[in-house]
Structure 1
Amino acid sequence: MRRLRVGAAVAAAVLVVLALTGCTRGSGYGYGDRATQPEVSCDDVAASVVQRERTGDTAGEINDELQYLSDNCGDAYDIVAGYLSARATPAEFRLESCAEWDQRIRPEAIELLRQDQLCSDAAAPAGGATAAQPGSIPWDQAVNHTGSTQYVCGPLVNSGTDQDDVFLNLGRGYPDAGRFTIVLWDVGGIEPLSPGTTLCATGPVTLYEGVAEIELYDVGQVEVWE
């Protein structure tokens, strides 16, 4: 007996980029408390998640599959999570150059984006680099300074809104927990900003659900370096 697999073409494409992850095998997912559960390949589960994302089948077993990867397949989970995060980025904020994703997601995840034609190998725009401002700390170091007031800078990856509140995600995009977020409360809205634009803000660094952030109430407190 064998477990039902995803289509060969999709599985082959995903297995190519996951081949070096050294995924292990473990107990199955989605079978409640059964004492005996079939083994399942990390590569097969990752391929299934990618297939579901590509076909829009994201309301069912994909959550169980992601939980399985999180519990049993660290490398495969990192790759798939990065891929899903990049695909979830609104088109107007998505990085066009594959090279621009290098510091944000795993190379295998970038290859999946390349297969989807969601990034290209054209040269990244010059504005994508983060300029180091005097006295600042980089976005990925802010988490180490929780509880202190810091001047933090980083490249904008994506942003979001909730009524009158704005969330600017630097370094990595939402929902990646490694991102740094500038939270602007009750500001109504902001001017359009291009992905890769360097933003800086000063304030107390706090953590919300593991994400480092600075909370502000005035749009003018955010510096834009272009």
Structure 2
Amino acid sequence: MTPTSEPPTPTPDPCPGAIPWNQAIDHAGQEITVIGQVMDATWASSSRGKPTFLNLGAVYPDPGRFTVLMWIDARYRFDAPPEELFMGKTVCVTGTIQIYRDGAEMEVEFPGQIIVP
């Protein structure tokens, strides 16, 4: 009798249906999950609305980047500053893709919209 090995257990997809950050612009107006590495993260604390920006795939001002935008109310819902939590990490972000100044972006209101797979 020959021993049989069990097939490896498949790893669950942490971001099912996610699209790469550089395809986000083709999905404007859609609610979708985008995956990419945070290349640049900034809190514009002196700007109106005190936005936090996470740029996936490329750094600001590269027009091809995908930007995750969080206003001050959303920022304070995180356990730590988002620019520190996510800088350099691959993230999956879920929400509606919008076009702003010819680039794709997504506004995040709640921590559950961003996961680190």
When normalised by structure 2's length, the TM-score is 0.72
Structure 1, residues 61-98: CA drift from partner, whole Å, max 9, x if none?
Answer: xxxxxxxxxxxxxxxxxxxxxxxxxxxxxxxxxxxxxx
Greater RCO structure (CA 8 Å; 6+ sep)? 2
Deviation at 1:184, TM superposition (A): 1.1
Aligned residues: 94
Aligned residue number for residue 193 of structure 1: 86
Amino acid at match of 1:139: W
Cα deviations by residue, 1:7-48 (Å, 9 ceiling, x for unpaired): xxxxxxxxxxxxxxxxxxxxxxxxxxxxxxxxxxxxxxxxxx
Q: Which residue of 1 aligns with 2:98?
A: 206
RMSD of the alignment, in Å? 1.9
Query: What are the superposed Cα offsets for residues 124-182 of structure 1, whole Å, 9 maximum, x if unpaired?
Result: xxxxxxx9832111100000011111111111111111124211000111110000011
Task: Provide the rounded CA distance (Å) in 2 between the counterparts of 1:209 and 1:155.
Answer: 21
Q: Determine which structure has the larger helix proportion and give its number.
A: 1
1:184 paired with 2:77, answer no
Code of the aligned partner of 2:116: V
Highest CA radius of gyration, 1 or 2?
1
Q: Does 1:165 align with 2:51?
A: yes
Q: 1:209 to 1:132 in 2, by over 3 A?
A: farther
Alignment of 1:16-31 (within 5 A): none
1:133 corresponds to: 15
**1:212 positional shift:** 0.2
Whole-Å separation in 2 of the counterparts to 1:182 and 1:154: 11
Question: How far apart in 1 are the matches of 2:85 and 2:97?
Answer: 25
1:194, CA displacement in angstroms?
4.1
Aligned amino acid, residue 138 of structure 1 = P
Equivalent in the alignment of 1:102: none
Matched-pair contact (CA < 8 Å) for 2:95–2:113: no
Match of 1:145 in 2: 27
Alignment of structure 1 residues 56-71 onto 2, 5 Å: none
Q: Give the SS at the match of 1:150.
A: strand
- What TM-score do you get using the length of structure 1 for normalisation? 0.39
Residue matched to 1:3? none
Q: Which residue of 1 is the match for residue 8 of structure 2? A: none
Distance 1:132 1:155, change over 3 A: farther
Gaps of 5+ in 1: 1-130
